[in-house]
Structure 1
Amino acid sequence: MERTALIRLLILFLTLFSFSAAKYMDNHSCKECHENIYDEFQSSQHSKSYFNDELHRKVADTADSKKYACATCHMPMADNMDDLLSGKARPDKANKTHTDAISCYFCHTIAYVKKAHQFNINTKARQAEHYKPTLYGRLVHPDASDKHSSASNPVYAKKVCMGCHSHKLNDNNVTIFKAMDDTQNSLGCIRCHMPEVEGGAEKMDKRARGQHASHKFLGIHDKAFRKTGVDITLTVKNKKLEVMLDNKMEHPLIIQPARAKFLKIKVMRKGKMIWRNYKQDPAEDAQGYFSYSFKKDGKKIIVPATATEGSVHNLNAKETKILTYDIPSLQKGDVVTVSLYVQLAKSDCAKAIDLKDKSLMEPELIKQETLKF
């Protein structure tokens, strides 16, 4: 190998893997050139931090009032990460590396994702001191910038989402979060959650690209988007109602332990309800209620940090399931309505963490199908 090639390889190695004191670029600094993307990001869940996401904060504090163990994914640019994880420090509202949440700088400096048993590990690119930082993405021949260098990195098509969105096991090896498996890559995530939208990635759009990947990170909070994940088909045979649920997503229906998704089924006759699948609590319908459940030493617990057992009633990625219900004989004019709802904070979770924002407990409609006779 020629001397010049060796020198280039050494520089690349040092840039990626040597420690440095490179300056942190906060979220707002990205707005100058990437105004549309910045605005999209600000409306996304990635912008939610320990300080403005009550559900996350209450769960984290209930799990451990001293250590902030969630920091690796929810505060990944923290300049005192070790202290947060050990309990020597707490989240600081005056620290930009804390308030920026899952920051632009973090996501665009991931060099590699290492698979691990308990949770995957994001390996960040080490930035050379006194040089502009290098930010990574999927663009071919990205534009130059006076703030940073840019490079295309294959990890952004393969594994970049796997660092935080794959799986999480607690210290007792109980799964408390699972969204992806080892056969998947990030392209499926990007295709659904970061669709191409109008406008270049930069304000000036120097290369006239015309489109960019949306940084709203569409998900369950978007009413239109959440309708696309599951198809519901209704069939009535004799006195049996069959509800076919087809999960079109590349991840399970239930991912997070605080949430619940459930069916609300009603049979209406002349404006009056003559049958429903539960009386008061959606969990009464075990087959139509999708959620995690946990135990510690045989006793039910809600916050899973210390759980010794765990299970989930779920609809797996790309799975189709038929649920069968015994209903009254239908007459002409009867209407059967099946609605799929999400509760961002299921009732027992909200009580366990003393959730103040009651709107998070309110069921939100995902999708509804109606069958008329």
Structure 2
Amino acid sequence: MKTISLILLLGISIFANDSAHEFAPSKECQKCHTQIYDEFYGSMHANATVDKDVIHKAVWNKQVVMTKTEQYSCGKCHTPTADNLDKMLKPGEKAMPDAANATHQEAISCAYCHRIEKIEEHKQSNTNIISKTPKEYYGAGRSSLDSPYHKIKTDENKNFKNGNICVGCHSHNVNKAGLNLCSTNVNSEMNEANCVSCHMPKVEGSFSSIIETKTHAFHGFAGAHKNSDMLSKYVNISITRNIDNFIVNIDNRSSHALLLHPARMAVLKISVSRDAKTTELEKEIFVRVIGKDGEPAMPWMADSVIKDTMIQANEKRAVKREFKLQKGDKVDVILGWFLVNPKALESLELQNEKVATEFKVFKKESFSF
């Protein structure tokens, strides 16, 4: 087992976040970190519980029905501030999500992430080791800072410095069948383009009312659910025109696949406008489907990848269409996704949930000839 230090993202395993701890409520951070708190409050980190995320709830409910489980092992990364986290993760114990438990509803809190002392690497998933000192927080600043409300450590945490604090939860998640359900394949030693530099870019506004700064790291956490526009610059779209056809080129310049969760489905929409007529061409679908015995299956049952057309890290994907372009034509290209593959909506009882059924536009480009 290799031990590494930290900074901010996703994972799951039989190993817990080392144990249950007491954390200051995120609401306490609002007074001094107003803009950051507002960003965080609307983020998926703050809304990771089964009571706030309808997609997560649907999958969890399915697991309860199919496996009769009485242990919310997802709590390792979805409710790591839970006061009964140990019971959620220790074999033989019983602990379920509790809407009335304030520590559950804190989800992935401010104090939790900023108390990650180091990260242990494990085969099934990584483990965040939490500092045992309450109100002593790690940060990414270049020098130590003072606060009347808590201590701040800025020089002692490797993963906060290199921007990969997220790999405790967002590195990989291997199920009991040995299938890696969701993996970023991010190198924990990356120093330039890292988790934070892309998903928490610098934005205008002071990080604190006590110490004024021009910018701060965005705490809305850009991703598939929200603020994906911040990530669109990492994917380039271009067109190559040939005599009888054309090719849409998608250049994924990020260090991981376009979408990671196996429930997602990306779609490339292509249309050609000529004079007053618009022709919709065949859509290109990008998925990673996990399953068992050749059929799609839920994460706890799947033992193989039965289809993978997802655009991978640093991949340049060429999508060819047999359509002869003429002078004056305009080609419109839209790349986006569904958070839940439409084929899975009914089985998860999500067909009436907007967040699961809406198409999220990631990037649009138009090309005139």
Smaller-chain TM-score bracket: 0.7 to 0.9
Contact kept in structure 1, 2:222 and 2:228, CA below 8 Å: no
Pick closer, same or farther for the CA change 1:160–1:336 going to 2, 3 Å: same
Following superposition, the deviation at residue 296 of structure 1 comes to: 1.2
- Match status 1:234 vs 2:239: yes
- Match status 1:56 vs 2:56: yes
1:333 aligned partner: 328
Contact kept in structure 2, 1:337 and 1:371, CA below 8 Å: yes
Contact kept in structure 2, 1:162 and 1:185, CA below 8 Å: no
Report SS of the residue matched to 2:59. helix
Residue ranges of structure 2 left out of the alignment (5+ in a row): 1-17
Number of corresponding residues: 338
1:317 aligned partner: 313
Contact kept in structure 1, 2:186 and 2:255, CA below 8 Å: no
1:5 aligned partner: none
Q: CA-atom RMSD, angstroms?
A: 2.4
1:176 aligned partner: 181
Following superposition, the deviation at residue 293 of structure 1 comes to: 0.8
1:104 aligned partner: 110
1:16 aligned partner: none
Report SS of the residue matched to 1:47. coil
1:185 aligned partner: 190
Pick closer, same or farther for the CA change 1:372–1:166 going to 2, 3 Å: same
- Aligned-partner Cα distance in 1 for 2:368–2:21: 64
Aligned amino acid, residue 84 of structure 2: N
Moved over 6 A (4+): 19-22
- Match status 1:141 vs 2:147: no
Deviations along 1:155-174, one digit per CA (max 9) or x if unpaired, are 21244111111111111111
Deviations along 1:220-274, one digit per CA (max 9) or x if unpaired, are 3225324323111012201221111111222211211111111112233333344
Residue ranges of structure 1 left out of the alignment (5+ in a row): 1-18, 279-287
Contact kept in structure 2, 1:263 and 1:338, CA below 8 Å: yes
- Match status 1:370 vs 2:369: no
Greater shift in the superposed pair: 259-268 or 77-86? 77-86
Give % identity.
Answer: 32
- Match status 1:116 vs 2:122: yes
1:348 aligned partner: 343
Aligned amino acid, residue 346 of structure 1: N
Greater relative contact order (Cα < 8 A, sep 6+):
2
| TM-score normalised by L of structure 2 | 0.84
Following superposition, the deviation at residue 275 of structure 1 comes to: 5.4
Contact kept in structure 1, 2:263 and 2:289, CA below 8 Å: no
- Match status 1:68 vs 2:67: no
Aligned amino acid, residue 143 of structure 1: L
- Aligned-partner Cα distance in 2 for 1:21–1:360: 32
| TM-score normalised by L of structure 1 | 0.83
Within a 5 Å distance, the mapping from 1:1-373 to structure 2 comes to 23-48=22-47, 49-65=49-65, 66=69, 67-85=71-89, 88-127=94-133, 133-152=135-154, 153-158=157-162, 159-182=164-187, 184-185=189-190, 188-205=194-211, 208-220=212-224, 221-222=226-227, 224-274=229-279, 276-278=281-283, 288-301=284-297, 303-310=298-305, 311-327=307-323, 329-355=324-350, 356-373=352-369
Aligned amino acid, residue 260 of structure 2: I
Following superposition, the deviation at residue 308 of structure 1 comes to: 1.3
Contact kept in structure 2, 1:336 and 1:371, CA below 8 Å: yes
Contact kept in structure 1, 2:20 and 2:82, CA below 8 Å: no
Pick closer, same or farther for the CA change 1:214–1:371 going to 2, 3 Å: closer
2:3 aligned partner: none
Deviations along 1:319-339, one digit per CA (max 9) or x if unpaired, are 222222222x33343332221
Greater shift in the superposed pair: 54-63 or 292-301? 292-301
Aligned amino acid, residue 265 of structure 1: I
Aligned amino acid, residue 60 of structure 2: A
Following superposition, the deviation at residue 144 of structure 1 comes to: 2.9
Following superposition, the deviation at residue 352 of structure 1 comes to: 1.9
Report SS of the residue matched to 2:128. strand
- Aligned-partner Cα distance in 1 for 2:38–2:347: 34
Pick closer, same or farther for the CA change 1:20–1:124 going to 2, 3 Å: closer
Aligned amino acid, residue 62 of structure 1: K
Deviations along 1:36-64, one digit per CA (max 9) or x if unpaired, are 21111112111112211101111122234
